[in-house]
Structure 1
């Protein structure tokens, strides 16, 4: 049994050493200073009181040995999850040691015996962070009575009553079961003032690191220790503009012009505008900001810098869609004038008078005036495409007539192109003698069949 006592003492000392450096960030240490009472009822001898250990539990007068001074001190360290480890030392004077076995109504009085105890306890607190804080514990220690000592196994129950975050009152009772026959099992009760300390506050803002969401930066209690640099009521970590006081609905950013767009996102921060336009105004509502709108008071498309499209020739087709913006035309013809049957007829009346050298494709000089008239008509219809057609009478071979008609049509086309008509608007075809408009049996009929026509391309 003596060896078991020594092993228990060694276990307590080693456990205390191992946890001496354990850390927690919020008041991990607790020291309690107070007085203790030793109660040797039951006597622990397995006799009269072995089955009734709580019968005399509060018989203070007959059984409690109380030293009227500070007689106990304990220090504990919070380990986490409600558990803590503590070590305690106590002293007392014993003049009552249970009841006399022969006479259970008579207190067993003894000479003043010295009492010393060293105990280690692992405790579990049920209601952390509350005013009423009960706990249970288990541990062991070593107790000396008049220099005779023995190891004990202890069961502990206690209650902390906290007056503030750091100061409280502690009541505790421990049942000490002795491992040696010469030390009787007994209760030890204690009461004292407890102080919690050791909390870390790295940034000095009055909020312990354990509860501080920003432990390295001084902040406000309202934000769990996080700062609000601009004082707008929004902590910096959630503030998109932490150095400028702003509005909660804009995540802490200011809105100088009050248009609901934060200044940092507002392209026109001093003038109220539209979100769709980056916070800039659009007086005429055409989708072009006033700063980029060359006609800010007249709606127009962005493609025309905010100005309405003009219709220069007044034909109802805007210049942007008008293929002939300077010539009045029709909507159906994309703003260009349409070639009417009358115009087509006039054009061919002129074309029929174009004269060629006999049997050749060269144009006679006296035809230049009529060609100028034809060019004038073609210029009035700048998008219209035409086919220059050559025709002959039936005099000569068909092959010869076909070739001659093609050459004469091409000769007229080249003349028109050389005088300003877009080549892509013209094509040349020869029909030879295949499309007569009169009889080839008379001189007048053959003259009519030898002709050039300029027809609108279909």
Structure 2
């Protein structure tokens, strides 16, 4: 075979071309290896050739076949369903149409001496299967051109093709194709060339080895899942790591992939009490008594109380209905109208004045006699029972002597009693003193008994 060296050279060239330009898109390259059959008969030419497509499948009489790998093609996917394929093929022509016996009318195969057939062709094809998303079954149509030699005669050809591929998997398939070759020179016959063989797609790059080619892999350097376009989901919660706020803890979509262990609607990353159901307003912590203070910060978690008292209810030690915080007398019961302090009753007022009237002074002086100390202590005890009440110490005299001296003496005696009370535990802010001299008698000054009653000290509730 004169053109065997050409065929071998073409094979090496096509293989080197494919290896040098692979791995830039998802399996963009395909290699075809198969056998071919050349049929010069059904091409619409006079005898020994015949009408178009006449006896198109008469392989026995018209097809020239070499039972060996005689076709090598390399294809490159261009895009949008289009591919370019370069093919080299080799054959031997011994059947050249049919001869008709003029007497009997019978047709016999026209045989010639074995002629070497060699062709190099280029073809642009369009995938109908890809356009219709047929998957494994991929019919296609193509157009192209080439150069064909029969022995030492060669000419260019215009080619049209139709074929079908069947892919067993993403890389391996079977291809059947027929090509009509119209020669530009009369000395080369028009002819059909049929081929069948296996195809191998390759050239896709998968850097991370996750089965998703880099072209379609949004995370080409990290193994991932097809459902996430090649990106990982480390915690397996159905949310890709890039969109997962907690990529290493399985969580919920509503919390951007973060878990909510206690199911309180607050994700663990924001939950100060992640294992105990709580309230969003309290960063996921519980409030057992509903007072708005998280149990962890509540000194009385089971009793509602104000924040100002650390979550505990305000006490009312004296049980008077006035809370200690508002009660000026927290240990003495009293009405709210008197800020929780006991009120000075008329009976108490009378008792104070009965005691006060018994206070004795040295004659004509403001000094208190020692025998009055007991009654003064009793007065102090009564006053201290009413810690918020204010009292006025009032001095009075009889009419003996001048009015001026009597007024002065009454003031001094009232002040003397007030000082005694202050020195013995009564707050100074609660006391005042005043003297009225002989102006407010409560009995007649004409009798000794009356004058004795008028010389007095009174302790009254101040307004």
The bucket for the TM-score relative to the shorter chain is: 0.5 to 0.7
Could you tell me which of 208, 222, 232 is aligned with 1:203? 208
- Cα deviations across residues 137-160 of structure 1 (Å, max 9, x unaligned)? 222222222232222222221111
In structure 2, the CA distance between the partners of 1:69 and 1:326, relative to structure 1 (3 Å rule), is same
Distance 2:40 2:303 in 1: 103
Size of the aligned set, in residue pairs, is: 423
What secondary structure sits across from 1:275 in the alignment?
coil
- Aligned position for 1:28: 28
Kindly tell me: are residues 235 and 132 of structure 1, through their superposed partners in 2, closer, same or farther at Cα, counting changes over 3 Å?
A: same
Q: Determine the structure 1 residue equivalent to 2:52.
A: 53
Q: Deviations over 1:156-189 (max 9, x none)?
A: 2111111222211101112222233333332211
CA distance in 1, matches of 2:51, 2:19: 37
Does residue 1:38 correspond to 2:38, yes or no? yes
How far apart in 1 are the matches of 2:160 and 2:294? 82
Aligned-partner Cα distance in 2 for 1:20–1:44 = 42
- Is 1:175 matched up with 2:177? no
When the two structures are superposed, what TM-score results if normalisation uses the length of structure 2?
0.63
Q: 1:90 to 1:325 in 2, by over 3 A?
A: same
Cα drift, residue 87 of structure 1: 0.8
Residue 69 of structure 2 is matched in structure 1 by 70
Higher mean displacement: 201-210 or 165-174: 201-210
Q: Are residues 1:116 and 2:122 paired?
A: no
Q: Secondary structure at the match of 2:60?
A: helix
Q: Report if aligned partners of 1:43, 1:49 keep a CA contact under 8 Å in 2.
A: no
Q: Which runs of 5+ in 1 are unaligned?
A: 1-12, 348-364, 366-372, 389-419, 427-453
Q: Aligned pair 1:140/2:142, yes or no?
A: no
The within-5 A match list for 1:75-154 is 75-99=74-98, 105=107, 107-125=109-127, 126-127=129-130, 130-154=135-159
Per the normalisation by structure 1, the TM-score is 0.63
Q: How far does residue 290 in structure 1 lie from its aligned partner after superposition?
A: 3.7
Structure-1 separation of matches of 2:224 and 2:195: 41
How far apart, in 2, do the equivalents of 1:200 and 1:313 lie?
86
Change over 3 Å in CA distance of 1:300–1:100 after alignment to 2? same
Partner of 1:300: 304
Calculate the aligned-residue CA RMSD, in Å: 6.1
Query: Contact 1:338/1:381 (CA < 8 Å) preserved in 2?
Result: yes
Is the 1:288–1:306 Cα contact (8 Å) retained in structure 2? yes
Give yes or no for contact 2:28–2:77 (8 Å, CA) kept in 1. Answer: yes
Residue 314 and residue 112 in structure 1: after superposition, are their counterparts in 2 closer, same or farther (change >3 A)?
same
Matches within 5 A, 1:328-347: 328-331=333-336, 335=340
Q: Which residue of 1 aligns with 2:373?
A: none
Q: 1:346 to 1:137 in 2, by over 3 A?
A: farther
CA distance in 1, matches of 2:176, 2:169: 17
Instruction: Write the deviation string for residues 345-383 of structure 1: whole angstroms up to 9, x where unpaired.
Output: 999xxxxxxxxxxxxxxxxx9xxxxxxx9999999888x
* 1:162-241 superposed matches below 5 A: 162-219=167-224, 225-229=230-234, 232=236, 234=238, 237=241, 238=244, 240-241=246-247
Paired residues of 2:44 and 2:51 also in contact (CA < 8 A): no
Gaps of 5+ in 2: 1-12, 353-367, 369-377, 393-424, 431-459
**Displacement of 1:81:** 2.6
Secondary structure (helix, strand or coil) at the match of 1:62 reads: helix
